Structure 1
Amino acid sequence: MGPVATVGRERGARGRRAATTAALLAATVTAALAAGCTSGGGPGDDGRGTSRQPEQSTSPSATGSSVLAVKLDNAAAARPHTGVDAADVVYAEQVEGGLSRLMAVYATRLPKAVGPVRSARESDLELLRQFDRPILAFSGAQKKLLPLIDKAPLQAKTPGDAPDAYFRGSGKPAPHNLYLRPERLLPKAPGPAALTTGFRYGAAPAGGTATTSQTVRYPAARFTFTWSDSRDRWLVGMDGAPATTADGKRMAAATVVVQYVKVRASDFRDFLGNNTPYTETVGSGKARVLRDGRAYDVHWKREHATDGTAFTTGDGTPVNFAKGQVWVVYAKAS
Structure 2
Amino acid sequence: MKKRLLAATLVTIAALGLFGCGKKEEATTESTTEATTEATTEDTAHEGMEYNELTGEWSKDYVPHRPVAVMINNLKEALPSSSTKQADIIYECMVEGGITRIMPIFSNYDGLEAIGSVRSARHYYINIANEYDAIYVHYGQSKPAKEKLEKHAIDNINGLTYDAGFYRDSSRVAPHNAYTSGERIVKGIEDFGYSTEYDDSHEKVFSFNEEDTELTNGQDANTVHVNFSSYSKPYFVYNADTKLYDRYEYDAPQVDALADENDNVLNFKNVIIQISQYECINPKNDLQELTQVGEGNGYYCTDGKAIPITWKKDNKKGKTKYYTEDGQELLLNPGKTWISIIGNGDNTGVSFE
- Identity, % of aligned pairs? 22
Alignment pair present for 1:245 and 2:256: yes
CA distance in 2, matches of 1:195, 1:179: 30
How far has the Cα of 1:263 moved from its partner?
Answer: 1.2
Return the offset for 1:299: 1.0
1:325 maps to which of 332, 336, 347: 336
Q: Which one has more relative contact order, counting CA pairs under 8 Å at least 6 apart? A: 1
Aligned to 1:129: 130
* Matched length: 266
CA distance in 2, matches of 1:240, 1:170: 27
Counterpart for residue 153 of structure 1: 153
180-189 or 140-149: bigger deviation = 180-189
- Is 1:208 the counterpart of 2:218? The answer is yes
In structure 2, the residue matched to 1:277 is: 288
Determine the structure 1 residue equivalent to 2:43. none
Q: Secondary structure at the match of 1:323?
A: coil
Say if 1:216 and 1:144 are closer, same or farther in 2 by CA, change over 3 A. Answer: closer
Cα distance in 2 between the residues matched to 1:234 and 1:304: 32
Q: Which runs of 4+ in 1 moved over 4 A?
A: 187-197
Q: Which runs of 5+ in 1 are unaligned?
A: 1-63
Matched, 1:218 2:228: yes
Q: 1:254 aligns with which of 269, 282, 306?
A: 269
Alpha-carbon spacing, 1:318–1:191, altered in 2? closer, same or farther (3 Å): farther
- The higher radius of gyration belongs to 2
Task: Give the aligned residue type for 1:324.
Answer: G
Aligned counterparts of 2:141 and 2:105: Cα–Cα separation in 1:
19
Contact 1:198 1:307 (8 Å CA) reproduced: no
Cα distance in 2 for residues equivalent to 1:262 and 1:286: 11
Amino acid across the alignment from 1:113? A
**Residues 281-325 of structure 1 deviation map (CA, whole Å, 9 limit, x = unaligned):** 222111111111111111111212322222211111222212221
Letter in 2 for 1:165: G
Structure 2 distance, partners of 1:138, 1:307, is 23
Matched, 1:120 2:121: yes
Per-residue deviation, 1:143? 4.9
Secondary structure of the structure 1 residue equivalent to 2:116: coil
What's the Cα RMSD here?
2.5
Aligned counterparts, 1:171-320, within 5 A: 171-186=171-186, 196=203, 198-202=205-209, 203-219=213-229, 220-247=231-258, 248=261, 249-266=264-281, 268=282, 273-320=284-331
Report the Cα distance in structure 2 between the residues aligned to 1:197 and 1:281, rounded to whole angstroms.
18
Relative to structure 1, is the Cα distance of residues 127 and 112 closer, same or farther in structure 2, using a 3 angstrom cutoff? same
* 177-186 vs 227-236, greater mean Cα deviation: 177-186
The one-letter code sitting in structure 2 at the alignment partner of 1:199 is F
Amino acid at match of 2:286: N
